[in-house]
């Protein structure tokens, strides 16, 4: 069936990762917010992780497409 699921997965995690990483950067100094997560800026970390995962998926989808067309 004609879609490569790696593409939407990659795109979604890139968007969400970007969103959370930026939110993490903005709220980085907010100690009250991060008291729950033991003082760790979990938004920044999760965001970066998701961004990396999303970009890898996008790369795989792009590579897959290239091998198919050539």
Interface with other proteins in residues 15-44 (CB under 8 A): 15-16, 19-20, 23-24, 27, 33-34, 36-38, 40, 42-43
CA–CA dist 48, 24 (Å, integer)? 10
State yes or no: residue 67 binds other proteins (CB under 8 A).
no
- What is the closest distance, in whole angstroms, from the C-beta atom of residue 67 to other proteins in the complex? 14
Closest CB to other proteins among residues 19, 55: 19
Which DSSP string corresponds to the chain? ----THHHHHHHHHHHHHHHHHHHHHTTT-TTGGGTTTT--HHHHHHHHHHHHHHHHHHHHHHHHHHHH-
Which positions lie near other proteins, rule CB under 8 A? Answer: 1-3, 5, 8-9, 11-13, 15-16, 19-20, 23-24, 27, 33-34, 36-38, 40, 42-43, 46-47, 49-50, 53
């Amino acid at each position: 069936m004609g879609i490569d699921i790696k593409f939407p997965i990659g795109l979604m995690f890139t968007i969400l990762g970007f969103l959370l990483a930026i939110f993490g950067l903005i709220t980085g100094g907010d100690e009250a917010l991060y008291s729950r997560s033991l003082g760790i800026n979990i938004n920044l970390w999760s965001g970066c992780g998701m961004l990396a995962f999303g970009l890898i998926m996008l790369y795989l989808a792009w590579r897959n497409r290239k091998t198919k067309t050539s």
